[in-house]
A = this chain, B = another copy of it.
Amino acid sequence: MSLIPRTALPALAALLIASAPAIAARPDEGMWTFDNLPAKKMQAKYGFAPDQAWLDHVRLSSLRFPGGSGSFVSKDGLVLTNHHVGRSWIQSVSGPGEKDYIKLGFVAKTREEEIKVPGLELNTLMQMDNVTERVAKATAGAKDEKAKAKAREAELEAIKKEIQAKTGFTPEVVTLYQGGETWVYSYKKHTDVRLVMAPEGQIAFFGGDPDNFTYPRHNLDFSLFRVYENGKPYNPPHHLAWTQTGLKAGDMTFVTGHPGSTARLETTAQMKMTRDLAFPLRLKAVERQIKFLKAWGAQDPEKARQVSSQVFGLENTQKAITGYLSGLKNVEAMARIEKAEQELQARVKKDPKLQAEAGQSWAKIAAAMTVARGMAKDSAYVNTRGSQLLGGALNLVRLADEEPKADDKRLSEFKETNLKRLKAQLGNAPRNFNKDLEIATFAHGLQEALDELGPNHPFVKAMLGGKKPMDVAKEAVEGSKLTDPAVRKALLEGGKKAIAESKDPMIALAKKLDPLGRELRKKQEDLVSSVVTEHGGRIAKARFAAYGKETYPDATFSLRLSYGAVAGYPANGTQIQPFTTFAGLYDRAWGWGPAAEHGAWALPSRWQDRKGALDLATPFNFVHTMDIIGGNSGSPVVDKKGELVGLIFDGNIESLPGRYYYDERINRAVSVDARAISEALAKVYDAHHLVSEINGK
């Protein structure tokens, strides 16, 4: 579940690679573009580097899913991806009872039974054009920055049109190395996609939230779709042959997929700010929230049920941040990152042009981080304090202010492109509203602000007015009419006047919060974000000027190749096994019993019934040294022959620092073994027709 890209995490600046010499990627590190592989390093370590035919075959067999990756695995357009990549699409064609395919799984016994998935679009990367020089030529004569940007945009539009006219593909601009290179990647779009097979959600996500981001693992996290064209199965020019031999420990593997973004480009000043303040504050708040929700749930089983998914979500956030933070706290790794930064600074200093462009940029970002540190607590606590109603109220108050403004003057969420959806949302009653929980949550949030900011902080004074948090929360929630869609609609349509006249206590609180929030936001944008964007970009450009393509560009959710080998790793006091097996699946189910952790390790009935038919020695999941990140979910794992041997679905807990750097000793990608998929299709799901199809029979 962890490999869907976190779009909320902005990719910033200054590529820092940990190694000596600091610039070179470490062994097996890197999310490489298909035009620039470290072939020498691969050859030296594994005695193999892909040739062009291999690369073309693998690229043309790969697919981009919304938020993830996939691949063609038969000549009839069968598509393999993760269950968790397909999950929302499976959900979208599911129904109640027998049609609850998330719960029960789904197998189309014939092609006629395959279910069309409206809205699902897959893309194959057909062509990659480096247009850096052409764009440079087109913008060479521009008299200023504005003209240059305009010329650049015009040239890119022209290029895209040319490609589209010539090939029929859909071109997209891809900026690599923070502007160091400009490419046009052209895709073949597939819009008729049908659901073929999905296992039960419980076996796909066996171990549930507790096992998320961990290994040893036992997840059958796959699903099968099929691409159609003109009402018939599509015959892709390339697809991955299913392995007939399988992997063993030490074997070289490759992954093609769409890594979303990392934070490896941040300066050390940014990382330290995150390490010292942003993450600890976040963790503290999350811990407090979990404690509060658990205490609330402890009142009775129904209340426990109401908060359980929120608790699980927070516990996963806690796990992820703890993992990222452990990376930032790793003294050895941070020393390498600092060394790389110093080396780049020294290179910049020696070159007058680079020095003029980026010489001051580290200091500027460091100064911005000082500002960010000073406002970190306010940023964390000056907000709607978990109240659904206050959240709605604040948006209503601001909408009245923002809508009359010109589009480019508005706060981003009120810009024309977002407005329609926001208004629809604001007009509805809040989802899953629970008055008692809302009061308790809001009171808890206000108490937290009081504890953290103190009674004399302007926000605390404005919210509490000297009263107790519980009294304020109760009064505001019980007195508010914002649960009534009619009331919301009236405020939504009534503009400034309706807001000004409203006596609703939540609207009143929102009016007090609004100016404080705006002030904080303006400060954050003017003194922090804009500086980081500007000077992060300058550092990145200097870096590309200094080092060029010696290393990989940061993740951009475009197609990349990672490589490495199947390998265990040291953890938990021992060495962790490279493969798990179906025997391990049963061990964990039996070792916990079905009731543990809300059934996280319970087996679907089909898996209980078919145990005797399965070869329990079948490899189930495995770990390998792959540098991947969110967006790689569903990526095919291929071997030297270019055959499908597995399917990426997660990283181990030690992979979380991969957000900042790659540590080959312990960072591992977790994949489903191809042999587990065919064994399950045959022995558990009676899908012999699909087994024949993937085996090319």
Tell yes or no: A169 within 8 A of B by CB. Answer: no
A-B contact pairs, 27 of them (CB 8 A): A207-B574, A210-B574, A211-B574, A213-B573, A214-B574, A319-B573, A568-B592, A571-B572, A572-B653, A573-B653, A577-B587, A577-B588, A577-B591, A577-B592, A577-B596, A579-B591, A579-B592, A580-B591, A581-B587, A581-B590, A583-B583, A583-B590, A583-B616, A584-B584, A584-B587, A584-B588, A591-B619
Contacts of A575 in B (CB 8 A): 210, 596-597
Q: Is A498's CB within 8 Å of the partner chain B?
A: no
The answer to the question of A631 belonging to the interface, with a C-beta cut-off of 8 Å to chain B, is no
Interface positions of A from 648 to 667, Cβ below 8 Å from B: 652-653
Is A610's CB within 8 Å of the partner chain B? Answer: no
> In the complex, what residues of B have CB within 8 A of residue A652's CB?
573
In the complex, A140 has a CB within 8 A of chain B: no
Residues from chain B with Cβ under 8 Å of A210 in the complex: 574-575
Residues of A within 8 A of B (CB): 207, 210-211, 213-214, 216, 248-249, 319, 323, 568, 571-575, 577-581, 583-584, 586-588, 590-593, 596-597, 601, 616-617, 619, 652-653
In the complex, the chain B residue whose C-beta lies closest to that of A573 is B653
Q: In chain B, what residue has the closest Cβ to A584?
A: B587
Bound complex: CA A144 to CA B578 (Å): 68
CB distance from A46 to the nearest CB of B (A): 19
Give every chain B residue within 8 A of A577 (Cβ-Cβ).
Answer: 587-588, 591-592, 596, 601
Q: How far is the CA of A573 from the CA of B580 in the complex (A)?
A: 17
Residue of B nearest to A320 (CB): B573
* In the bound complex, CA of A586 to CA of B580 (Å): 10
Task: Give CA–CA (A587, B622) in the complex, Å.
Answer: 12
Query: Cβ of A586 and Cβ of B581 under 8 Å apart?
Result: yes
Cβ-defined contact, B616 with A573, below 8 A? no
User: Given A249-B596, A586-B617, A596-B249 in contact, is the A581-B591 Cβ separation under 8 Å?
Assistant: yes
Bound form: Cα–Cα A586–B214 in Å: 21
Q: Given the known A-B contacts A586-B617, A587-B587, A617-B590, are A214 and B581 also in contact in the complex, defined by CB atoms under 8 Å?
A: no
Residues of B within 8 A of A578 (CB): 591-592
Q: Which residues of B contact A572 (CB under 8 A)?
A: 214, 571-572, 653
Task: Given contacts A249-B596, A578-B592, A581-B586, list 12 more A-B pairs with CB under 8 A.
Answer: A214-B572, A214-B573, A216-B591, A319-B573, A323-B573, A572-B653, A575-B596, A583-B590, A583-B616, A584-B584, A587-B587, A590-B617
Closest partner residue, chain B, to A591 (CB atom): B577
Chain B residues near A573: list those with CB within 8 A. Answer: 213-214, 319, 323, 652-653
Measured CA separation A578–B323 after assembly (Å): 25
* Residue in A213, A249, A584, A591 with the greatest tally of chain B CB atoms within 10 Å: A591
Given A210-B574, A572-B571, A572-B653, verify A248-B586 contact (CB < 8 Å).
no
Question: Which one of B248, B571, B574, B580 lies within 8 Å of A587 (CB-CB)?
Answer: B580
Chain B min CB distance to A248 (Å):
7
Docked complex Cα distance between A455 and B578 (Å) = 47
Q: Which residues of B contact A616 (CB under 8 A)?
A: 583, 586, 616
Which single residue of chain B is at the shortest CB-CB distance from A595? B249
Beta-carbon nearest neighbor of A248 in chain B: B593
A580 to B584, CA, bound (A): 10
User: Which of B207, B249, B601, B653 is within 8 Å of A593, CB to CB?
Assistant: B249
List, in ascending order, chain B residues with CB within 8 A of A596's CB: 249, 568, 575, 577
Q: Which residues of B contact A583 (CB under 8 A)?
A: 583-584, 586-587, 590, 616
